[in-house]
Amino acid sequence: MKAVTAEVAKIDRPAKKKASRFFSTMLQQRYLYLMSIPFVIWVFVFSYLPLWGWTMAFQKFKPAKSFFEQDWVGFDYFKELFHDDTFFQALRNTLAMSVMGLIAGFTIPIILAILLNEVRQQMFKRVVQTISYLPHFVSWVVAAGIISKMLSTDNGVVNEVLVGLHLIHEPIQFMAKGNLFWSIVTASDVWKETGWNTIIYLAAIAGIGPELYEAARVDGASRLQQVWHITLPGIRSTIIILIIISIGHLISIGFEKQFLLGNNLVRDYSQTLDLYALNYGLGMGRYSFGTAINIFNSVVSVILLFTANGIFKKITKESII
Amino acid sequence: MAASGTPWSDRIFDIVVYVAILLVTVVTLYPFLNVLAISLNDSTDSVKGGITIYPRQFTLKNYDTIFAFSGLLQGLKISVLRTVIGTVLGLISSSMLAFTLSRVDFQGRKFVSTFLALTMYVSGGLIPFYILIKDLHMMGTFAVYVLPGLVSAFNVFIIRSFIDGIPYALQESAKLDGANDFTIYWRVILPLTKPALATIALFLAVGQWNSWFDTFLYNASKDNLTTLQYELMKVIQSTQTNADNFRGRNMVEVMASISPESVKMAITIIVTVPILVVYPFLQRYFVKGMTLGAVKS
């Protein structure tokens, strides 16, 4: 007992000194504090306060009442959620589109980056790259307008090409077919983001030592063999890190594309979890129910992130956490 | 033996590479050229179809038609305003934070950077955020375009990793000359971080210019605060399915009654042109910025 008090006293004195030193440094660094504190408060308000809003999912939330007057209902809204068929439909759509997007969104930019890397004329390469970034910079509103024009039955280029090649007899009403909606979203995403996503891979490829290619050439490797044995292994860790990050976002694919490309005819295939939260939560004023969907989303995201990270850590010794 | 001639397999490889890349380029570019051509073509003639990448009957009438609506000019004004204000404020806030976080001696550094980094992984979701905006009385205001997106952790970290590359001795010598930390930020750091700032400015500006959802969510009923993208969204959605619940404001109604296709394409071009003009010039900056951000995080 005595020893403990002695120790506390010992710690106490330097602690006081430490505290006063802390405040004198703080005075010295007052400009640094002035330049960061307003933004810390800002981050607190717009990023952390909404987390407090999660309590809504456990209340029968009424906007007019204060926090202490709300009726608490426990997990009722989650129970309701798991008994709602629309929820499972939205979950299915979300997972289908995100998995399709993950597969296409990884393979195609890697292929394009490798192809671009094999182009020797720098001027040509730069022009192609500039063009390929273009769709990334237009909004989804513009993209959705362009895509529905290209897929339309009257004079849409896709139908014209397919008819011209005699692959189909008459134009397909792409935007009205629910079973095509997932593919349309995936293809649109590929069209919009492929060029942009090559940037990171091209940078990774640029980091591979030229002496490796030199050695392969001496050994008589063809260009294709060089791609397979040097370029691809060279960007392996970049690919893995990006995959882990994307798996974390698997369930939170948002709703922008689906909102803009979808319509009432394809609703059963276009409604994602976020759109479901938007329609039920805000559209019908069911804030608590919508928040329960939001929470489900976040929790699953975190679980996915850690699982993906864990699996890849075991298999490949690469991880982000 | 292969030292002089190229082996046939490599030649085929080259052909495949170029054909594939040309294909990608055509698929990317054609839709834009097609939209441009239709927007510049006489609208009754466009209906016959067959317009590819150049107009058959050139006219600027479609553009005249849209500019006749005051709604569009007002939308343009709001879009430009939010882009300029949002970009400037966003640059100031992220560079200030980046500067303080780059200072190893700053004692709030660890707390602030953790506090900021966490926001990249956790978010309350759509509905709690909506309620927050409502509680802050920001519904139906211009501020809702600028304030909620002011600080983005990603941008801060990109600028910080750029500042980390600037020798600290520079700041020390400025300090010896009697400069305080704010002066150092303003006179030393800001001019030296121009390439990083250009990248972030592009991201911020494109984000501001392209967003429509905040208008849809918070300001849809305020005619004088709607943005260009939102107006375009309404036009596209209203003509796309014909059967939707957009009780059109005059602009949408009138546009649907005249040839919707050409006018829709003309609006699309107006919304896209500003970006088209800017991004190729900033390309070398953002490629560097993206790579740097990716490697560091």
CATH 1.10.3720.10 in chain A is located at 75-316
| From A44, A135, A298, residue closest to B125, measured CB to CB | A298
CATH 1.10.3720.10 in chain B is located at 65-295
DSSP state letter for A79: H
User: What's the CA gap between A73 and A52, in Å, rounded?
Assistant: 17
User: What's the CA gap between B269 and B32, in Å, rounded?
Assistant: 9
| From A130, A140, A150, residue closest to B283, measured CB to CB | A130
Note whether B123 contacts A50, CB cutoff 8 Å: yes
| pLDDT tens track for B283-292 | 888 887 776 6
**Chain B within 8 Å of A222 (Cβ-Cβ)?**
yes
**Chain B within 8 Å of A244 (Cβ-Cβ)?**
no
User: What's the CA gap between A174 and A152, in Å, rounded?
Assistant: 7
User: What's the CA gap between B160 and B183, in Å, rounded?
Assistant: 18
| From B24, B119, B265, residue closest to A47, measured CB to CB | B119
d(CA B137, nearest CA chain A) in Å: 13
Note whether B150 contacts A137, CB cutoff 8 Å: no
User: What's the CA gap between B231 and B66, in Å, rounded?
Assistant: 11
Q: Can you tell me whether residue B248 is helix, strand or coil?
A: coil
Predicted local distance difference test score (pLDDT) of residue B263: 82
d(CA A9, nearest CA chain B) in Å: 26
**Chain B within 8 Å of A311 (Cβ-Cβ)?**
no
CB atoms within 10 A of CB B79: 25
Predicted local distance difference test score (pLDDT) of residue A276: 92
**Chain B within 8 Å of A27 (Cβ-Cβ)?**
no
Q: What is the pLDDT along chain B (297 residues), one digit of tens a residue?
A: 444 467 788 889 999 999 999 999 999 999 999 999 999 998 888 888 888 899 998 989 888 888 877 678 889 999 999 999 999 999 999 999 999 999 988 988 999 999 998 888 778 888 999 999 999 999 999 999 999 989 999 899 989 988 998 898 889 899 898 889 999 999 999 999 998 899 899 999 999 999 999 999 999 888 889 999 998 888 887 765 443 333 344 555 555 555 568 888 898 999 999 998 889 888 888 887 776 655 544
Counted residue by residue, chain A has a size of: 321
pTM: 0.86
| pLDDT band of A74, cuts 50, 70, 90 | confident
pLDDT at A237 over 60: yes
Note whether A295 contacts B125, CB cutoff 8 Å: yes
Predicted local distance difference test score (pLDDT) of residue B30: 95
pLDDT at A228 over 50: yes
Note whether A134 contacts B276, CB cutoff 8 Å: yes
Q: Enumerate the residues of chain A whose CB falls inside 8 A of the CB of residue B265.
A: 149
Q: Which amino acid is at A54?
A: W
| pLDDT tens track for A19-39 | 888 888 888 889 999 999 999
Q: Enumerate the residues of chain A whose CB falls inside 8 A of the CB of residue B38.
A: 149
| pLDDT tens track for A78-103 | 999 999 999 999 999 999 999 999 99
**What is the mean predicted confidence (pLDDT) over A113-132?**
93
Predicted local distance difference test score (pLDDT) of residue A254: 81
Q: Which one is predicted more confidently, B80 or A153?
A: B80
Residue A321, both tokens: 């956490």
Cβ atoms of residues B91 and B197 within 8 Å: yes
Interface ipTM above 0.95: no
Predicted local distance difference test score (pLDDT) of residue B247: 39
Q: Which amino acid is at B206?
A: V
Note whether B291 contacts A133, CB cutoff 8 Å: no
CATH number of this structure's domain B65-295: 1.10.3720.10
**What is the mean predicted confidence (pLDDT) over A251-258?**
86
Q: Enumerate the residues of chain A whose CB falls inside 8 A of the CB of residue B27.
A: 191
Q: Which one is predicted more confidently, A277 or B9?
A: A277
Q: Enumerate the residues of chain A whose CB falls inside 8 A of the CB of residue B294.
A: 200, 203, 238
Predicted local distance difference test score (pLDDT) of residue A314: 80
d(CA B214, nearest CA chain A) in Å: 12
pLDDT at A136 over 90: yes
User: What's the CA gap between B37 and A146, in Å, rounded?
Assistant: 13
| pLDDT band of A321, cuts 50, 70, 90 | low
pLDDT at A8 over 60: no
Instruction: Identify the CATH assignment for A75-316 out of 3.30.1330.10, 3.10.20.30, 3.90.550.10, 1.10.3720.10.
Output: 1.10.3720.10
Mean pLDDT of chain A: 88
> Shortest CA distance to B288 belongs to which of B207, B197, B209?
B197
| pLDDT band of A307, cuts 50, 70, 90 | confident
Give CA A267 to chain center in angstroms: 22
Q: Can you tell me whether residue B41 is helix, strand or coil?
A: strand
* DSSP class per residue in A195-233: HHHHHHHHHHHHTS-HHHHHHHHHTT--HHHHIIIIIHH
Distances (CA, A) of B251 to A141, B141, B237: 17, 22, 13
